[in-house]
A and B are shown apart, each in its own frame.
Chain A
């Protein structure tokens, strides 16, 4: 059935099907099976399973690790009354919004400045920012921990060696670290889009006496809009799941100051052993990510 190709169908069948259009070939099914099989088994099934898991009393250890079952809305009521969850949601919101603003503003600024900079400046500064982006999250977390802790680079350079920025402003510092590690991505994507803006459009505006601000607002911004929205959504999605950076730097602390949702989910599941409740918090993340994801598909699918 899954014949490899349909090169030459028997002559007798030729009249049955139209040959001016591509037809479905059974071998396509064989080609699609590995990818969609993997996605079904390790993405769709776990997602469906998590919905059920979130409404059970499964724990990592203890009696309910073996004998567990459906507990209905019990976990949902617990979630509703869980103040740590709600504060974690706010922390996540600050982290995501801060990262978006930082990456878009700094990334756009860098991209447009680099276009007009000296070539050697472009290579050095662009290179540094891209290296920061390439650095794996674990390493980025380690360098930022070292730089912002008491006696670290920033406090030494600012001449206040005993100030521990990471303890004083934990959420701000991890957000800055995240901006630092994603700006390169925003810079590259927005830089490519900036270079694609036709020079004639800008020149025409100059001839029409448009000020720099008008040129930005009326020409550059509308043309850049889809790119900027795509960057916003991708930064939101990547920040939402950025477990590694914060786990290395603060492990969600001090207290719950940097406890964003992926860390709280992990903490509930594997530190407090409430696997089911951790899965439920994971489901909240899936819902948030899906909202961003749907908007992303609408923006990126259009191109």
Chain B
């Protein structure tokens, strides 16, 4: 719309309404070029969209195909794959994933909201350096600590589901603190002062005033923590020794190591595994967009 190389002098007067401006001679009217550009832009986008959707095709088609392979082909429609993966040990792994993610989210969000509140409202010695440390560890993926953590957990006999959930909570804690601090900063301090006049304790103020008002931010942070723990692969792979405590990502990987690869089951299980993530992101899309502009994201 605005690639006119030489606008006529009077274009200055109509800067606000350049498109199809009556001041322009007909040959300079940009409508036709705008149309060409619009087609170009939409074609390019369609091409990129096709490239991005191509890898997903197999997932969608194979999951409803009773004769699936690695190839893409028109499926023999059936929901048998979903029925297979929602039974027995595979269902149990999904349950383990829920426990892992819920416990980890609860710990990280509870510890996070307390720290975020004090960062936002209180006078703390070394506040600046501590905040930089939080920011630093929100960017650095803490999962690279997994070998020393393995050695420590092995020594104490902690190679199981709950200690792993605690470690996963630590990997999302810094970003959660950072995100929640930014949200609490935006909550007016007047409500708290009013509550304090009424002799409310810090705990009451947090529970009745700060948490409800900063709920969108806390929810966004909690969703981040949940998705982080839910999708984690290498941490449970190393830190959980017992097979029947393994979460869904490990079960998914185990499919590949079996003598007979059940392609349809892999696709169906992958989709089932994705659903909570998609639902949670969709539920908080707006919150997340704000949050991610402010900070970073950790995944894996």
Q: Quick check: B299 and A202 within 8 Å, CB to CB?
A: no
Residue B183 interfacial (CB < 8 Å): no
Residues of A within 8 A of B177 (CB): 35
Complex Cα distance, B44 from A281, in Å, reads 43
Complex Cα distance, B11 from A147, in Å, reads 52
Looking at the complex, which one of B122, B234, B299 makes contact with A28 (CB distance below 8 Å)? B122
Residue B124 interfacial (CB < 8 Å): yes
Of the four ranges (under 10, 10 to 19, 20 to 34, 35 or more), the interface on chain B belongs to 35 or more
Looking at the complex, which one of B18, B46, B143, B166 makes contact with A121 (CB distance below 8 Å)? B46
Q: Quick check: A156 and B139 within 8 Å, CB to CB?
A: no
Complex Cα distance, B253 from A245, in Å, reads 11
Residue A171 interfacial (CB < 8 Å): no
Looking at the complex, which one of A39, A135, A137, A149 makes contact with B170 (CB distance below 8 Å)? A39
**Most chain B CB atoms below 10 A, which of A117, A183, A211:** A117
Per-residue 0/1 for A104-130: is the Cβ within 8 Å of any B Cβ (1 yes, 0 no)?
Answer: 001001100110111001001100111
Q: Quick check: B72 and A185 within 8 Å, CB to CB?
A: no
Stretch at the interface among A73-81, A91-99, A287-295: A287-295
Q: Quick check: A143 and B122 within 8 Å, CB to CB?
A: no
Residue B252 interfacial (CB < 8 Å): yes
CB within 8 Å for A185 and B297 given contacts A23-B123, A180-B52? yes
Identify whether the interface residues of A are mostly helix, strand, loop, or mixed.
helix
CB within 8 Å for A238 and B151 given contacts A134-B277, A202-B2, A244-B233? no
CB within 8 Å for A248 and B253 given contacts A39-B173, A147-B55, A262-B234? yes
**Most chain B CB atoms below 10 A, which of A42, A188, A203, A292:** A42
Complex Cα distance, B270 from A292, in Å, reads 32
Q: Quick check: B147 and A279 within 8 Å, CB to CB?
A: yes
Q: Quick check: B170 and A134 within 8 Å, CB to CB?
A: no
* Interface residues contributed by chain A, number (CB under 8 Å): 112
CB within 8 Å for A49 and B152 given contacts A113-B44, A136-B231, A294-B136? yes
Residue A157 interfacial (CB < 8 Å): yes
Q: Quick check: A243 and B118 within 8 Å, CB to CB?
A: no
Complex Cα distance, B196 from A211, in Å, reads 59
Q: Quick check: A289 and B12 within 8 Å, CB to CB?
A: no
A180 to chain B, nearest CB (A): 7
Q: Quick check: A39 and B137 within 8 Å, CB to CB?
A: yes
CB neighbors of B among A24-46 (8 A):
24-25, 27-28, 31-32, 34-36, 38-39, 42-43, 45-46
Q: Quick check: B139 and A234 within 8 Å, CB to CB?
A: yes
Looking at the complex, which one of A139, A270, A290 makes contact with B140 (CB distance below 8 Å)? A290
Chain A residues with CB under 8 Å of chain B are: 4-5, 7, 21-25, 27-28, 31-32, 34-36, 38-39, 42-43, 45-47, 49-50, 53, 58, 106, 109-110, 113-114, 116-118, 121, 124-125, 128-132, 134-139, 142-147, 149-154, 156-157, 161, 177, 180, 183, 185, 188-189, 192-193, 202-203, 206-207, 209, 211-212, 230, 233-234, 237-238, 240-245, 247-248, 262, 265-266, 269-270, 275, 278-279, 282, 285-286, 289-290, 292-294, 296-297, 300-301, 303
Chain B residues with CB under 8 Å of chain A are: 2-7, 11-12, 15, 18, 37-38, 41-42, 44-46, 48-49, 52-59, 62, 69-72, 107, 110-112, 114-115, 117-118, 122-125, 130-132, 135-137, 139-152, 166-167, 169-170, 173-174, 177, 196, 199, 201-203, 227, 230-231, 233-234, 238, 249, 252-253, 256, 263, 266-267, 270, 273-274, 277-278, 281, 289, 292-300
